[in-house]
Amino acid sequence: MSTADLQRAKVYEAEALVRRIFDRSADFPIVEVAGSSITLPPERKFATLESVQAYVDQVLALNWVGERWSRASLPVAVRSRAGQGGAHYERIPPVIAVPLHRGGTAWALRELVVLHEISHHLAEQDEVHHGRQFTGRMVDLVDGIVGAEAAFLLRVTLLDVGAGVG
């Protein structure tokens, strides 16, 4: 990659805000976002690495995903990630590493985190890791899989923290 990953901190900040909103959605299912009231759709949570693997396989097998991104045809393995770090994508061979527990919670075993890593998998080789193409693809995946309301929340939050969305 020849271009610096200048948006990384902003993308992580926006995603953390969105995850916190979803964490509270059972108590507050309707949220005000950019002047619009939206009802948050449910976000899938996973209990095991096997359930994450099945989800990743299903997302990559979606017709519209394969039509938009050629790398959807490449299988991705899912493995446990040791330590206190976040989820991580390894390009060669394609692997999504997910921490099972951090701080006593399985915070990464959730749909929005897994879609972030799938967004990395679908990226072209020379793409900035958290650049506009990445954020645009992530919003598109969230829109098509979680729902338009979740994508709207993610897009607005990314823009609010100063991240470009492509």
Quote the number of domains for the chain: 1
Cis check for the bond before 42: say yes or no (omega within 30 of 0).
Answer: no
User: Quick check: is 137 in a domain?
Assistant: yes
Instruction: Judge whether 55 lies within some domain.
Output: yes
- CA-to-CA dists, residue 134 to 39, 97, 147, angstroms: 25, 18, 18
CA nearest to 100, candidates 51, 42, 154, 43: 51
Phi and psi torsions of 122, nearest 5°: -80, -10
What is the DSSP-derived secondary structure letter of residue 35?
A: T
Instruction: Answer yes or no: is 4 within a domain.
Output: no
Q: Residue 80: inside a domain, yes or no?
A: yes
Is residue 13 domain-resident? no
Residue 1, pLDDT score: 41
Per-residue pLDDT for 27 more than 90? yes
What is the residue range of 138's domain? 27-157
Residue-wise pLDDT for 105-163, tens only, equals 778 899 999 999 999 999 998 898 999 999 999 999 999 999 999 999 999 999 999 99
Instruction: Name beta bridge partners: 43.
Output: none
pTM: 0.94
Residue 5 maps to a domain: no
Which pLDDT score, from 0 to 100, does residue 112 have? 98
Instruction: Please indicate, yes or no, if residue 1 is contained in any of the structural domains.
Output: no
Do 127 and 5 touch, CB atoms closer than 8 A? no
Residue 152 token pair = 């709207």
Indicate which CATH number applies to the domain containing 52. 3.30.2010.10
**pLDDT at res. 3:** 58
- 84 part of a folded domain: yes
What are 49-107's pLDDT values in tens digits?
Answer: 999 999 999 999 999 999 999 999 999 999 999 876 789 999 999 999 999 876 667 78
Model confidence band, residue 164 (pLDDT cutoffs 50, 70, 90)? very high
Q: In this predicted structure, what is the pLDDT of residue 2? A: 43
Residue 76's SS3 state is coil
